[in-house]
Amino acid sequence: MARAFLFVLDSLGVGGSPDASAYGDTGADTLGHIAEFCAAGAADRTGLRSGPLMLPNLSALGILEVAKAASGAYPAGMPKPDRIVGVHGCANEVSHGKDTPSGHWEIAGTPVMFDWGYFAAEGDAFPEKLVEAICRAGEIPGILGNCHASGTDIIARHGEEHIRTGKPICYTSSDSVFQIAAHEIHFGLDRLLGLCRTVRGLLDAYNIGRVIARPFIGETPATFERTGNRRDLSVLPPEPTLLDRLVKEGRSVHAVGKIGDIFAHQGVSRVIKANGNMALMDATLTAMDEATDGDLVFTNFVDFDMVYGHRRDVPGYAAALEAFDARLPEVVQKLKTGDLVILTADHGCDPTWRGTDHTRERVPILAFGPHISARAIGIRPTYADIGETVAKHLGIAPGLHGRSFL
């Protein structure tokens, strides 16, 4: 039995990126700054947690040593384990940008070596010609927003006008992305998804990576709430990824969460949707039961990024990490001889950093499974080493980028 389980803790960077200055992120360190916040006893008004960041299972897999290698310091206040039981290291990103597709595609063995298109940071984000084309093709009376914004903030600002006028809320960020928020009932979920498909076609000329549907419910700013029906419409990866190579060899790729959307549903055998980290873990555990010899279960745990990182919610991020850590023994219980689990991230999103965008950071690599011996693998030159490790473990031919660390 040789199966692989690849889990992306979306945005759990560990600092230290050698090119962080090019992105304005020198000093960003998602894990390190969360630990520092917790160790300092900073107030948590939600009552979710208190005291130092406690991740006993991730620590036993080597995450403290990873953080030290990546950023030069152990995370503050986190107790060291008696021993390390996992293969542990970190990786630099070579892809251009710090977007979700770039990180995931590079993890899957396909770095992005071209520049994405981005929208203006000042004034109107979207060109007038594009807005006119969207309104005409999408049969809408206009758009609201048209700026860089946090999703929850812009829905609070424009939600009531959106309901009244039928104009969708359109916004972007420092990522290569066009986001559309609309009310599930008043505007309609199917109509929103159709509009996103229309916009996706209009954006190819702008080299924009993703169009994201952001449905919400509620009637007032106090009750507006985004739902779990988010959809990402991505462009295709620039060349075949690990997922394509596995499917070509007759293997099954079980895509949990937004993995299918990120890869434009290419190289995906099965899509499994769930809303929230704990539901994603439940779905992953079920997929582990169903996976057969040669299969890959690939999960994105999105809450770390979407709910806590972008909203700069440090205690919420810490509590989410502790909740995830507490469930890792359930993953271990599902493993069979020959299985491999790799935990990693796709970029950073330091919740103590300025703004609300991703941060350029190294990402952790934590690998374990029956009969896999603990050892340090240092700083890998590319995320693609992760995909090539999975390829070697599952017995398919190596790709063009990266080297296995096993």
- How far, CA to CA in Å, does 164 sit from each of 9, 196, 248, 393? 38, 21, 49, 55
DSSP E strand stretches across 93-186: 144-148, 169-172, 177-183
Question: Dihedral sign, CA of 90, 93, 97, 102?
Answer: negative
Beta bridge mates, 216: 183, 226
Examine the pLDDT at 89 and tell me if it is beyond 80. Answer: yes
Kindly tell me if the per-residue pLDDT of 44 is higher than 80: no
Q: What is the pLDDT of residue 152?
A: 86
Query: Can you list the pairs that 161-168 forms with residues at least 24 positions away whose Cβ atoms lie under 8 Å?
Result: 162/186, 162/187, 163/219, 165/141, 166/140, 166/141, 167/140, 167/141, 167/142, 167/143, 168/140, 168/143, 168/144, 168/192, 168/195
Reduce the secondary structure of 179-232 to three states and give it as a string. EEEEEHHHHHHHHHHHHHHHHHHHCHHHCCCEEEEEEEECCCCCCCEECCCCEE
Give me the pLDDT at residue 384, please.
98
Question: Does residue 15 contact residue 71 with C-beta atoms inside 8 Å?
Answer: yes
Q: What is the pLDDT of residue 42?
A: 67
Please write the tens of the pLDDT for every residue from 307-356: 999 999 999 999 999 999 999 999 999 999 999 999 999 999 999 999 88
Q: Is the pLDDT of residue 92 over 80?
A: yes
Q: What's the mean pLDDT in 114-137? A: 94
Residue 280: pLDDT band with limits 50, 70, 90 = very high
Give the whole-angstrom CA distance, residue 307 versus residue 309: 6
Residue 53 confidence (pLDDT): 96
With a pLDDT cut of 90, the percent of the chain lying above it is 93
pLDDT at position 122 is 87
* pLDDT for residue 356: 86
Q: What DSSP string runs through 69-89?
A: HHHSSPPTTPPPPS---SEEE
For 127-176, what is each residue's pLDDT tens digit? 999 999 999 999 999 999 999 998 889 999 999 999 999 999 999 988 89
- Residue-wise pLDDT for 13-33, tens only, equals 999 999 999 999 999 999 999
Mean per-residue pLDDT of the chain: 95
Terminal Cα-to-Cα distance of the chain (whole angstroms): 17
pLDDT at 45: 60
Distances (CA, A) of 74 to 31, 97, 130, 296: 10, 27, 48, 32
Answer whether residue 278 shows pLDDT above 70: yes
Residues 85 and 71: their CA atoms lie apart, in Å, by 22
Q: Is 286 helix (H, G, I), strand (E, B) or coil?
A: helix
d(C-alpha 367, C-alpha 107), whole Å: 14
Task: Convert the pLDDT of each residue in 228-268 to its tens digit.
Answer: 899 999 999 999 999 999 999 999 999 999 999 999 999 99
Instruction: Outline where 240-338 has alpha helix (H).
Output: 242-248, 259-262, 277-290, 303, 314-334
Cβ–Cβ under 8 Å, residues 284 and 299: yes
Cβ–Cβ under 8 Å, residues 231 and 214 = no
Q: What is the pLDDT of residue 1?
A: 64
Percent pLDDT > 70 in the chain is 98
Between CA 14 and CA 34 the distance in angstroms is 10
Q: Using one digit for the tens of pLDDT, what is the confidence trace for 358-399?
A: 999 999 999 999 989 999 999 999 999 999 999 999 999 999
